[in-house]
Amino acid sequence: MPLHAPERFESMNNPLRVLMVEDSEDDALFVLRELRRGGFEPAAERVEDEAAFSAALTSREWDLIVADYSLPQFNALVALRIVQQHGFDLPFIIVSGAIGEEIAVAAMKSGAQDYILKNNLARLVPAVERELRERQVRRERHRAEETCLRLAAIVESSGDAIIGKALDGVITSWNPGAERLFGYRATEVLGHSMRLLLPSDRQEEEDVILEKLKRGERIAAFETVRLRKDGRRIDVSVTISPICDADGRAVGASSIARDITERKRAETCLAALSKLGQNLSAVTNPREAAYLIGNIADELFTWDAFSLDLHDAEANTMFTVLNVDTLNGQRQEVPSSYMSLEPSPTAGRIIEHGAELILRDKEATMLPGAIPFGDVARPSASLMFVPIRNHSKVIGLLSVQSYQHNAYERRDLSTLQALADYCGGALERIQAREELRKSREQLRALAAHLQSVREEERKRIAREIHDELGQSLTGFKMDLAWMRNRLQGSDDGPALRQLLLDKIKAMGTLLDELAGLMRKLCTDLRPGVLDDLGLPAAVEWQAREYQNRTGIECHLDVELGETRVDPERSTALFRIFQELLTNVARHARASRVEVLLERTGTHFVLEVSDNGCGIKESEKAGAKSLGLLGLRERAVILGGEVEIEGRTGKGTTVRVKVPVSNAAAAADPSDTEEVPPVASTTVN
């Protein structure tokens, strides 16, 4: 029950919340009056049994419990146990009448702070003040311990490296964050100098740091480089604070190091890509671009070998733009890995599945499935391969390699992929411009070639007309003049008649020769059989003429069935066939030619194979391959394509595919003009 005491003192300024276990209201008032005299301003509640005590104990906060030792229904020891069970840290003072010494000692052992007799309340205030001070000390110590535990938990769970060290630089504490960052366990570094973590070129940093710490100075965050246990250099941001004793003297230091390698890497990568972007805009061909990319890759990760290959997805071929290797300590450009070849197993895997980091042991040999370049006797130990992509399309392959073991790690691979992706669009644009440039050069060369061919054809026709037709006409004219003269100047009837008959016969023979010459000229310009009998017959005729003229055996297989080939495609395929036969005669050194003309689905296919020396890769689109360029142009005009395969000593195969015209493709076979099939045969 609440107690309201009438006595008030002006000096009362120390509130005190008191829970009293007392069955005498008068005794309770005496206790409260004594507390007021001692300078307290008590607010009290008095209880007489266990239930009331338990309810009051948990209903509000208390500063002090004053309990009579023994009440009819309750006693101080039971109240003390209840306080202890709840875990309250409260001063507990027994104020009671006379009791035995043994009981008092037992009460003190049970946890009561003091025992005061009711007839000697003068000891109450000093006892209360003492216990309140001790409780405050206990609370502050508890808070300090909690703070220490909380700080220790923070230190233990921190991702940063938190290191304690003495003023001579010796490491005194090492948290798990330091283990993760630097790779050392605590047992490996405690008692060792911090210089263990400093690169040889930064040892003077520790001297400056220790001098400042001895002066009690805090060292603000600064960026530097430290060494991991594996020898790798890492970028860190470091803050160092002195640890001082009670007198303010520095006795040690706390160092917090944060890994900023990724941030520095990102900054470096961003700067490198920015520089690359500016420089790429000025290059004119893929090789110049490859040199720029190689230089940027060297800034990001030092390499001993570098390669950049372009990939043609449609043809599934690779073409090396640049290979660089370190030979005798000097970087040198080395021969290409690819020259329009299919991707190697390694390259195919990268194109299909993405980037790869390959770290090899010291005894490793050449990487299986890779195409070697440079110093093949010294395999790379650390290799990174990434696809060069423009959006989702793989247009090439980029690789950097080192002869050092474990030179690269997974995040380096991600950076290299970012570099490759950044360059993908630019490389494709540069490559497109370079294709376009070469195409224009080829078209100009083709135009000049066609003009030259036309002029040569005109010269040949003019020569034949002049030499053959001109001579024949001149002779015919002379014969007519002779006949006129004989008729005008002679009267020899029978004899003249026979002479005129002989001359007329000779003139007829000459006219036959003129007609044959005219047919030959017309056939050279366009064979009549192509218009009269169609493409299969024209191809057979041309093959026979070719075999008779060159002595090269020509085997023909025509499988067009009842398909009618329209004039436009007939002409194009026939001219392509003529050009291919001409190329075999000029360059192949062949003794046999296989010809296939067929329809497959929606395409006409003309395939010419020889058993000659075989075309080289460089000859497929070189400056001297204008004939091939011309037949490509003929095929492209009709929406077709040309495939050329050649193996040294194994001959060359040219396959031309031209779409069937819409009318022919849609026509019913019963409505088409019947064209007799040409059987598979060797032309005789």
246 in any annotated domain: yes
Domain housing 337: 278-440
Q: What's the whole-number mean pLDDT along residues 518-527? A: 60
Q: Assess whether pLDDT exceeds 70 at residue 489.
A: no
Query: What pLDDT sits at residue 184?
Result: 94
- Provide the CATH number for the domain around residue 574: 3.30.565.10
Q: Are residues 296 and 245 in the same domain?
A: no
381 in any annotated domain: yes
Among residues 129, 148, 167, the one where a domain terminates is: 148
Residue whose entry in the numeric block shows the structure tokens 């090789």: 287
Per-residue pLDDT reduced to its tens digit, 328-370: 889 998 877 665 578 888 899 999 999 999 998 765 565 665 6
- Provide the CATH number for the domain around residue 339: 3.30.450.40
Query: Which residues are CB-contacts of 256 (< 8 A; sequence separation ≥ 6)?
Result: 160, 161, 162, 163, 238, 239, 240
Query: What pLDDT sits at residue 144?
Result: 65
Q: Are residues 591 and 654 in the same domain?
A: yes
Q: Are residues 433 and 285 in the same domain?
A: yes
Query: What pLDDT sits at residue 151?
Result: 58
The alpha carbons of the chain give a radius of gyration, in whole angstroms, of 53
Q: Are residues 301 and 234 in the same domain?
A: no
366 in any annotated domain: yes
- Provide the CATH number for the domain around residue 250: 3.30.450.20
Q: Are strands 553-559 and 592-600 parallel, antiparallel or unpaired?
A: parallel
Q: Are residues 116 and 234 in the same domain?
A: no
192 in any annotated domain: yes
Helix axes 410-464, 626-637, angle to 10 degrees: 100
Q: Are residues 192 and 174 in the same domain?
A: yes
472 in any annotated domain: no
607 in any annotated domain: yes
- What's the total number of domains in the chain? 4
Query: Which residues are CB-contacts of 593 (< 8 A; sequence separation ≥ 6)?
Result: 546, 552, 553, 554, 555, 581, 584, 608, 609, 610
42 in any annotated domain: yes
Q: Are residues 536 and 404 in the same domain?
A: no
Q: Assess whether pLDDT exceeds 90 at residue 595.
A: yes
Among residues 209, 228, 259, the one where a domain terminates is: 259
Among residues 384, 407, 440, the one where a domain terminates is: 440
Query: What pLDDT sits at residue 304?
Result: 93
At residue 667 the predicted structure's pLDDT band, cuts being 50, 70 and 90, is very low
473 in any annotated domain: no
Q: Are residues 201 and 250 in the same domain?
A: yes
Which range, of 125-129, 317-321, 463-467, averages the lowest pLDDT?
463-467
Q: Are residues 300 and 414 in the same domain?
A: yes
- Provide the CATH number for the domain around residue 42: 3.40.50.2300
Q: Assess whether pLDDT exceeds 80 at residue 13.
A: no
Structure-model confidence comparison of residues 596 and 115, the more confident one = 596
CB 435 within 8 A of CB 297: no
Q: Are residues 228 and 291 in the same domain?
A: no
Q: Are residues 102 and 195 in the same domain?
A: no
Q: Assess whether pLDDT exceeds 50 at residue 640.
A: yes
Q: Are residues 124 and 200 in the same domain?
A: no
